[in-house]
Amino acid sequence: QVRLQESGGGSVQAGGSLRLSCEVSRYTYSTACMGWFRQAPGKEREGVAAISTALGSTYYADSVKGRFTISQDKSKNMVYLQMNSLKPEDTAMYYCAALGGACYTGILDRRDYFYQGQGTQVTVSS
């Protein structure tokens, strides 16, 4: 069993920044690729970013490329999502997810996860 706990959400004005954190209880096969996805009311779930915990390679949705950065600190069992230049359309519940044994092109299209956290709300006002 892997537990994921998100933190760092909040309310900001457009153009602002937030950093989300995800604490990973332990690393297993399922956490070899870690990611963030988001879901806003009435909208489809969207994969935002992913990182290979072994290689450090990263993947981003086009909607956040250049604004968001996913990173990790394995010594602290943490995965982060730095969000800059936030827009009102970034408003959503953000979830940390364990995506499985490897990251690959298209991983952000996945809608099934080994594990996910409870989520943290991000609200961006115009």
What tens digit of pLDDT does each residue of 69-120 get? 999 999 999 999 999 999 999 999 999 999 988 999 899 999 889 999 999 9
Instruction: Provide the pLDDT for residue 8.
Output: 98
What tens digit of pLDDT does each residue of 47-78 get? 999 999 999 999 999 999 999 999 999 999 99
pLDDT of 46 above 90: yes
Instruction: Provide the pLDDT for residue 35.
Output: 97
CA nearest neighbour of 41 among 106, 91, 101: 91
Instruction: Provide the pLDDT for residue 101.
Output: 87
The model's confidence at residue 32, banded by pLDDT at 50, 70 and 90, is very high
Instruction: Provide the pLDDT for residue 25.
Output: 96
